[in-house]
């Protein structure tokens, strides 16, 4: 059993910053790729950023240069530093992690989501 707990969402003015955190806990042998997705009302869930266990990163074009993903492997935690926020960044942000538990195949876990609202 693995749980992902997110924190750090909230309301911010355009141009501001927020930092999201997601901590994985439970029966974890290794965390592989971890990432953040977002879903705005009426839109499909989309990848925002992802990071491998080795530190390779991937970003959506819309956030490149503004958002930075990082992770602490010892804490099984992934972070998303969001700068220069825009109203179009408003969405529910979900943490995602591919986790290998003892005696199991890797499994894709999701957090409960955290609301990010950027006012103009």
Q: Per-residue pLDDT tens for 11-69?
A: 999 999 999 999 999 988 888 999 999 999 999 999 999 999 999 999 999 999 999 99
- For 30, the token pair is 């290794």
- For 1, the token pair is 């059993």
Predicted confidence (pLDDT) at residue 1 exceeds the cutoff of 90: no
pLDDT at 87: 97
SS (H, E, C) the chain: CEEEEEECCEEEECCCCEEEEEEEEECCCEEEEEEEEEECCCCCCEEEEEECCCCCEEECHHHCCCEEEEEEHHHCEEEEEECCCCHHHCEEEEEEEEEECCCCCCEEEECCCEEEEEEC
**pLDDT tens across 79-119, in order?**
999 999 999 999 999 999 999 998 888 899 999 999 999 99
Q: How many CB atoms lie within 10 A of CB 76?
A: 20
């Amino acid at each position: 059993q693995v749980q992902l707990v997110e924190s750090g969402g909230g309301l911010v003015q355009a141009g501001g910053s927020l930092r999201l955190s997601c901590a994985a806990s439970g029966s974890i042998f290794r965390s592989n790729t971890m990432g953040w997705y977002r879903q705005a009302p009426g839109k499909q869930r989309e990848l925002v950023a992802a990071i491998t266990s080795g530190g390779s990163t991937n970003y959506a074009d819309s956030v490149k240069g503004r958002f930075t993903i990082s992770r602490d492997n010892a804490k099984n935690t992934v972070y998303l530093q969001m700068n220069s926020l825009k109203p179009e960044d408003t969405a529910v942000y979900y943490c995602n992690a591919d986790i290998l538990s003892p005696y199991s195949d890797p499994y894709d876990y999701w957090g409960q989501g955290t609301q990010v609202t950027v006012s103009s």
